[in-house]
Structure 1
Amino acid sequence: MTTYSSGGSMDVKGVQGSISFDGDWITITKREVGQQARHFRIRAADVTGTRLKPGTRLFHGYVQFLLPGSSAATESKSLLAGGRPPQSDPHSLSIRHSANDAAEKLVAAVEQARS
């Protein structure tokens, strides 16, 4: 699900969190069970690459933003993680199959803002 506010921001609801993009800043909010939400802000101009693995009906996918000096978080190979980066990675968020279109649009907007 993608929503656009009057300010032109895009939002993608993920698994235990969300991603918002206002044209300049990406905000990843993660909520772990029993803990307060954590917010990670990334300036779109600082992003060196993006990764999008669409979710399927059986496994969640993910959106990941790559930054200078940091390598992409590796995908967990366990059956429960289904090939996603760990929850502790601040630059990625797991997404459900229903959020694939919204995530694709958000990643495209970030890529456009980078160039």
Structure 2
Amino acid sequence: MDVKGVMGSVQFDGDWITITKTAVGQQDREYRIRAADVTGTRLKPGTWLFHGYVQFLVSGSLPAEESRGVLSAGRPPQSDPHSLSIPRRSNDAAAKLVQAVEQARG
């Protein structure tokens, strides 16, 4: 299962969630989270005007707060390793991925 995000992607193979982030001028950064370690998920669908996000909550770390800036308002910062911004066209795929993660961790 694969979701294309804004400057990155999220893959889920049934056991592991892999978040790959691409920053301008830097190498891709890859973060792996075991589905069994996820304590919760957050999904904010993207709209015509603003990107949404998918975030995985992990025991031992606080969820990243939503930014208040003009360009990234309503999303966790790019530096958060447990979330990824998604465009509106990825809403359905992100919802399916979150549902699959919820079933795998259950």
TM range (shorter): over 0.9
Which residue in 2 is equivalent to 1:82?
A: 73
Number of residue equivalences: 106
Counterpart-to-counterpart distance in 2, 1:57 and 1:35: 29
Please list every run of at least 4 consecutive aligned residues from structure 1 whose deviation after the TM superposition is greater than 4 angstroms. Answer: none
- Determine which of 57, 60, 67 is the counterpart of 1:69: 60
Which residue in 1 is equivalent to 2:91?
A: 100
Which residue in 2 is equivalent to 1:3?
A: none
Deviations 1:57-86 (A, max 9, x none): 100000000000111100001121021000
Which consecutive unaligned segments of at least 5 residues does structure 2 have? Answer: none
Instruction: Give the match's secondary structure for 2:66.
Output: coil
Instruction: Give the match's secondary structure for 2:20.
Output: strand
TM-score (normalised: structure 1): 0.91
Which residue in 2 is equivalent to 1:17?
A: 8
- Determine which of 82, 89, 110 is the counterpart of 2:101: 110
**Percent identity between the two aligned chains:** 75
Instruction: Give the match's secondary structure for 1:90.
Output: coil
Q: Does 1:43 align with 2:64?
A: no
